[in-house]
Amino acid sequence: MLRPRERKVKILATLGPASSSPEMIRALMEAGADAFRINMSHGSQAEKAKLVDAIRSLEKAKHRPTTILFDLQGPKLRVGKFKNGSAELVNGHMFILDRKKDLGDATRVELPHPELFEAVKKDTRLLIDDGKVRLRVVGVEKDQIAAVVEVGGKVSNNKGVNVPDVLVPIPALTKKDREDLKFALEQGADFIALSFVQRPEDVAEARELVGDSAALLAKIEKPQAIDRLGEILELADAVMVARGDLGVELPPEGVPPLQNKIVAAARQAGKPVVVATQMLESMIVSPTPTRAEVSDVANAIYEGADAVMLSAESAAGAFPVEAVAMMDKIGRSVEADPVYSARIHFTETPAEATTADALSESAAQIVKIIDARAMACYTASGSTARRIARERAQVPTLAMTASMKVARRLGLQWGVHAVHTRDVNNFEEMVGKAKRMVLRHHLANAGDSVLIMAGVPFKTSGSTNVIHVVKIVGDELETYSAEG
């Protein structure tokens, strides 16, 4: 059994060619990975099924509910193909994007997305190959878009196109995404990450297909999504600050304020928020990160992010285990900073007018006043644990649930260590089990106070209405030892 982490922020590690073996997945978990991302943009479904099998086998061996997030590719806007495989676009020259199937050259290329011909307008920017080449529209006709090259360069076959200035009228789920979604649900996905989310309707569409089979994480990578962030948060179970595409469609200096805004909005909504992309980018080829990258990860943690994510660093880099271990060290270092608690509470999270919110806010104050060592809660749906996490109390939370599905979904929740256990039937059994569990999971020792939250009647979702403080005494250690 792995001990609870010595940090509260979670680490989401992407699996790929460098980390696809059961041995490497085990090494990543032991180095600090709390959850695993399976990227459906690359590889076959058969390869992904093997990753799931390896994670679930490890989960069983380590007695640790483990979160699996399937990341759908989403629609990709791309140019067509060129006569010689590529063309050099020159600053100040005109360039045409049209609907002709002919191979392109330095003056024109096919744009196989009819929706764009109605969406773009004069002065709309078109960013090709992650913004390396930049065009500005000067005229639009039924079958062609005329643009001037503002930043030239080489464009090769099927390079991506970003259109940051307009709401692109295409669905967030492609045919491939729907097939991958069906596969992910068959594999028991805990989270489905939606790419290209522009509006709440994109999340609603996915919700109809997913139901309650998995939680939905909306990737915020389009500027249009920011305008309706509150509505998206209402429908999604979690969000991700996907800085890759955000950084393409926005000027670099515009990304940090938006990251802060998204993290704050998610925390106020009580939804997990993941910060992702290029966090330790240099560790793809180097065993150590740059100081700037360390500061970047630390800043996300100081902001109060629930999780930080590794992409190519763990999926395709030369040092995947070292990247996870470094992120773990950064998390523990930041959380040991005396000013950390004050920093993460810069974001106000006012309680809603509910019993559960009132008790969660009170519990965070109680553990601080009485210097409790840990919090423990019983949860049927995960809601109690999420509300506790929203308060960012400076002690770990042991979330006990009879549902393995719920335990796995809590893997992206700040400060929560979830365990799958049999339910309780009465108050005395609840207290006894909570004491044994905090001892078993090394969250408390003799003499420590522990705060317990639960709902009475038991086994009822959304009924949190009890706070109970207990002290661990010596004979309970003996009882725990005897029971094993």
- Give the pLDDT confidence of 258-275 residue by residue, as tens digits: 999 999 999 999 999 999
Return d(Cα 193, Cα 217) in angstroms, integer. Answer: 5
CATH of residue 477: 3.40.1380.20
pLDDT at 460: 64
pLDDT at 484: 42
Domain finish residue from 293, 312, 342: 342
What mean pLDDT, rounded, does the chain reach?
93
2 assigned to some structural domain:
no
CATH of residue 17: 3.20.20.60
Domain shared by 36 and 133, yes or no? no
pLDDT at 355: 83
pTM of the predicted model as reported, rounded to 2 decimal places: 0.93
265 assigned to some structural domain:
yes
Query: In the structure, what pLDDT confidence band is assigned to residue 441 with cuts at 50, 70 and 90?
Result: very high
3 assigned to some structural domain:
no
Domain shared by 224 and 308, yes or no? yes
The greatest distance separating any two alpha carbons of the chain, rounded to the nearest whole angstrom, comes to 82
Mean pLDDT to the nearest integer, 281-301: 97
pLDDT tens for residues 86-115? 999 999 999 999 999 999 999 999 999 998
Domain membership of residue 422 as a residue range: 355-483
Domain shared by 148 and 180, yes or no? no
332 assigned to some structural domain:
yes
Terminal Cα-to-Cα distance of the chain (whole angstroms)? 13
Domain shared by 68 and 180, yes or no? yes
Query: In the structure, what pLDDT confidence band is assigned to residue 462 with cuts at 50, 70 and 90?
Result: low
The letter for the amino acid at 279 is M
Domain finish residue from 108, 131, 162: 162
Low-confidence winner among 70-84, 125-139, 171-185, 343-357 (lowest mean pLDDT): 343-357
Return d(Cα 118, Cα 389) in angstroms, integer. Answer: 45
State the helix-helix crossing angle for 291-303 and 320-335, rounded to 10 degrees.
Answer: 50
Residue 418 reports pLDDT greater than 50: yes
Residue 457 reports pLDDT greater than 80: no
Query: In the structure, what pLDDT confidence band is assigned to residue 478 with cuts at 50, 70 and 90?
Result: low
Instruction: Give the tokens for residue 177.
Output: 């995404």
109 assigned to some structural domain:
yes
Pairing of strands 108-110, 125-128: unpaired
Domain shared by 149 and 34, yes or no? no
Query: In the structure, what pLDDT confidence band is assigned to residue 482 with cuts at 50, 70 and 90?
Result: very low
Residue 69 reports pLDDT greater than 90: yes
Domain shared by 215 and 302, yes or no? yes
Dihedrals phi, psi of 286, to nearest 5 degrees:
-125, 145
**Within 13 Å of residue 296, how many CA atoms lie on the same side as its CB?**
20
CATH of residue 155: 2.40.33.10
Domain shared by 56 and 193, yes or no? yes
Domain shared by 478 and 360, yes or no? yes
pLDDT at 238: 98
Mean pLDDT to the nearest integer, 221-230: 92
Return d(Cα 70, Cα 49) in angstroms, integer. Answer: 11
Into how many domains does the chain fold?
A: 3
Mean pLDDT to the nearest integer, 144-160: 96
Nearest to 174 by CA among 227, 113, 223: 113
Domain finish residue from 134, 162, 190: 162
240 assigned to some structural domain:
yes
pLDDT at 145: 97
349 assigned to some structural domain:
no
Domain shared by 218 and 241, yes or no? yes
Nearest to 19 by CA among 9, 27, 30, 8: 27
